[in-house]
Structure 1
Amino acid sequence: MNLQQIVDDTWNTLADQRGCGTLATYIPALAEVDPNKFAIALATPDGAVHCAGDADEPFSIQSISKVFVLAQALERQGPALWDAVGREPSGDPFNSIVQLEREKGIPRNPFINSGAIVTTDRFIDDRGPEDAVTDLLQRLRRMARDDAVTIDERVARSESDAGARNRSLAFFIADFGRLLNPVEEVLSVYFRQCAFAMSCRQLAETSLFLASDGTDPVSGQVMCDPIRARRINALMLLCGHYDNSGQFAFEVGFPGKSGVGGGILASIPGKAAIAVWSPGLNRSGTSMLGAMALGRIARQTGWSVFSGESMRH
């Protein structure tokens, strides 16, 4: 199978649709991104990375960061994490507060904002917020094999300035006694993790552990144990695109996690990690063109996790 040709064909076929969707204007820094950007990177366990378009241009990974924080929170907390956050699809928008009141401050899953705030709190654990951010940044640099991975401080400030809803969620959770650390310390980490700037190439390489039972097959760096990697993939499939998760699974068939910066991370266990980026979003906050690209790659490779070939890995 010629993966570079598949990546090139996908980019070329969809390039005329660049600019479709709507930018995430509620975060001022994201509203200024060029809507015509479009990138694909596909990384395989043998160390090859197949790229097209703007694959080496950093962008704000936003909620894709929740995958990495979840992996590390599970390593620190173990199964106790699931006492604080659920594992079910929400069916509501990513920043909804409705279920929190009904379910006594326990978020439905780790990928909606309320659940990610709790997961970030458990990732911080008994450390200070600065130590937690440094730990995550260093780990992502090692997994990406690139020290250029950084935090876009301007985006982080923009996140904080526009963060009234996330503060409301955090204080609501804290009111039920569900946070271990002060709200503003948790949010200081949360806003910065969402402001990580990574290219599709870096993101695909960093995410190979998801396709390889928790360990980067190139460097041998362990991100999490095999069972947890499989469970993260399951959660990505069920909850990775908020109230659009079912449609994404139906059309693409990859575990995936979207971010309102226009990126999508996809994992195909035993096969590859794929990162796509196009800033225009659908109504649920998933990159419109990025989802089209992943759907096309799924059809051309036959790599859906529901296919017999993929399920044998």
Structure 2
Amino acid sequence: MDNLDHILAGIAAEMRGMENRGKVADYIQPLAAVSPHKFGMAVVTAGGSVHLAGDAEEAFSIQSISKVFALTLAIGAVGDQLWRRVGREPSGSAFNSIVQLESEHGIPRNPFINAGAIVVTDVLLGHHQPREAIGQMLRFVRELAGDDTITVDEAVARAEQDTGFRNKALANYMRAFGNIHGDVEQVLGTYFHFCALAMSCRQLALAGRYLMDGGRTTREKGGHRVITDRRARRINALMMSCGHYDNSGDFAYRIGLPGKSGVGGGILAVAPGIASIAVWSPGLNASGNSQLGQLALERLVQHTGWSVFEPRGGAGG
């Protein structure tokens, strides 16, 4: 494990020296105010060890990474009925695109684009009021991470509400097709609160353990099953094919791990059976994914052999 600490320290040092850091999201003020020089990385192994580098303890807005946790809750609530309302195919379009909804009758391509996540939120609101759904999400990620200090950043949620005109258009368009059942404003308000979850790399990597370990939180005594192994595999498959929007193919090509990004600069990645990984660098590439976060993950799999396309038995452990 000392080798893993050494690898992370080397990656963090390399990222500190990078000049091309991408562009921080500027469409809402709380995200625009974050320094582009931040970089954090956390790895939680299947054996339970935690390895940190850089700003791994600083909370950031996880944004669309929350879609992974919302999807997990929705599958738990309605099972495979979910796929009647949202697809499982890569979109090939930007995360907030409205183009495909016209030709595909209001059915979003997958649950990780904004339209798909809004449908997932609507599904959760079929079982809860908005306050209850937000509370359920917060309790869920706190339980996954084993950390009751995780919060929703209300300033981010309000800023999303004030500027989310395209998301409002997506929701109303799907409502016109009958694929949003609840009140649009309530669905969007809940969705914006999900996106406003604030977590550190350490907390995020801990929360992602169930996807690394067949649906279980830990292998230790006291760990519990969150979802079935089958559902964990399917969520990982969706993360691999759809987790980075129109950049998902390149992410798979370069890194070879299931992953989900957010415009706050975070990425949750999963090395199945090996590790849960979170990285944060606020500057984004042209596709809205963390510029240095992707590079850091590429360096990590080069050092460890953790890509799912590598023969098993690579370094790491």
TM-score using structure 1 length: 0.97
> Which stretches of structure 1, 4 residues or longer, exceed 6 Å deviation after superposition?
none
Which position in structure 2 is the counterpart of 1:215? 216
Which position in structure 2 is the counterpart of 1:64? 65
Moved more, 216-225 or 25-34: 216-225
Matched, 1:250 2:253: yes
Which position in structure 1 is the counterpart of 2:192? 191
| 3-state SS, counterpart of residue 268 of structure 2 | strand
| 3-state SS, counterpart of residue 179 of structure 2 | coil
How far does residue 122 in structure 1 lie from its aligned partner after superposition? 1.0
Moved more, 5-14 or 73-82: 5-14
RMSD (CA atoms): 1.3
For residues 89-117 of structure 1, give each alpha carbon's deviation from its aligned partner in whole angstroms, at most 9, with x where no partner exists: 00000000000011000000000000000
Code of the aligned partner of 2:22: G
The 2-side partners of 1:96 and 1:68 are apart by: 22
The 2-side partners of 1:187 and 1:59 are apart by: 21
Give runs of aligned pairs for residues 101-120 of structure 1, distance below 5 A: 101-120=102-121
How far does residue 194 in structure 1 lie from its aligned partner after superposition? 0.3
Which position in structure 2 is the counterpart of 1:233? 236
For residues 37-68 of structure 1, give each alpha carbon's deviation from its aligned partner in whole angstroms, at most 9, with x where no partner exists: 00000011222110000000000000000000
Give runs of aligned pairs for residues 79-228 of structure 1, distance below 5 A: 79-217=80-218, 218=220, 219-228=222-231
Which position in structure 2 is the counterpart of 1:49? 50
How far does residue 73 in structure 1 lie from its aligned partner after superposition? 0.3
Which position in structure 2 is the counterpart of 1:295? 298
How far does residue 139 in structure 1 lie from its aligned partner after superposition? 1.2
Contact 1:94 1:242 in 2 (8 A): yes
Contact 2:258 2:269 in 1 (8 A): yes
Q: Between the two proteins, what is the percent identity of the paired residues?
A: 54
Code of the aligned partner of 1:172: Y
Moved more, 175-184 or 214-223: 214-223
Give runs of aligned pairs for residues 4-23 of structure 1, distance below 5 A: 4-17=5-18, 20-23=21-24
For residues 75-97 of structure 1, give each alpha carbon's deviation from its aligned partner in whole angstroms, at most 9, with x where no partner exists: 10100000000000000000000
Moved more, 7-16 or 77-86: 7-16
Q: Which runs of 5+ in 1 are unaligned?
A: none
| 3-state SS, counterpart of residue 308 of structure 1 | coil
Contact 2:65 2:260 in 1 (8 A): yes
| 3-state SS, counterpart of residue 17 of structure 1 | coil
Aligned residue pairs: how many? Answer: 311
The 2-side partners of 1:76 and 1:199 are apart by: 27
Q: Which runs of 5+ in 2 are unaligned?
A: none
TM-score using structure 2 length: 0.96
Contact 2:41 2:201 in 1 (8 A): yes
The 1-side partners of 2:28 and 2:214 are apart by: 35
How far does residue 310 in structure 1 lie from its aligned partner after superposition? 7.0
Code of the aligned partner of 2:242: C
Which position in structure 2 is the counterpart of 1:29? 30
The 2-side partners of 1:107 and 1:28 are apart by: 28
Contact 1:269 1:310 in 2 (8 A): no
The 2-side partners of 1:229 and 1:180 are apart by: 27
How far does residue 19 in structure 1 lie from its aligned partner after superposition? 6.5
Code of the aligned partner of 2:298: G
Code of the aligned partner of 1:264: I
| 3-state SS, counterpart of residue 303 of structure 1 | coil
The 1-side partners of 2:292 and 2:300 are apart by: 12
Which position in structure 1 is the counterpart of 2:278? 275
For residues 195-217 of structure 1, give each alpha carbon's deviation from its aligned partner in whole angstroms, at most 9, with x where no partner exists: 00000000000001000111101
The 2-side partners of 1:225 and 1:148 are apart by: 27
For residues 115-143 of structure 1, give each alpha carbon's deviation from its aligned partner in whole angstroms, at most 9, with x where no partner exists: 00001111222311111110110111111
| 3-state SS, counterpart of residue 143 of structure 2 | helix
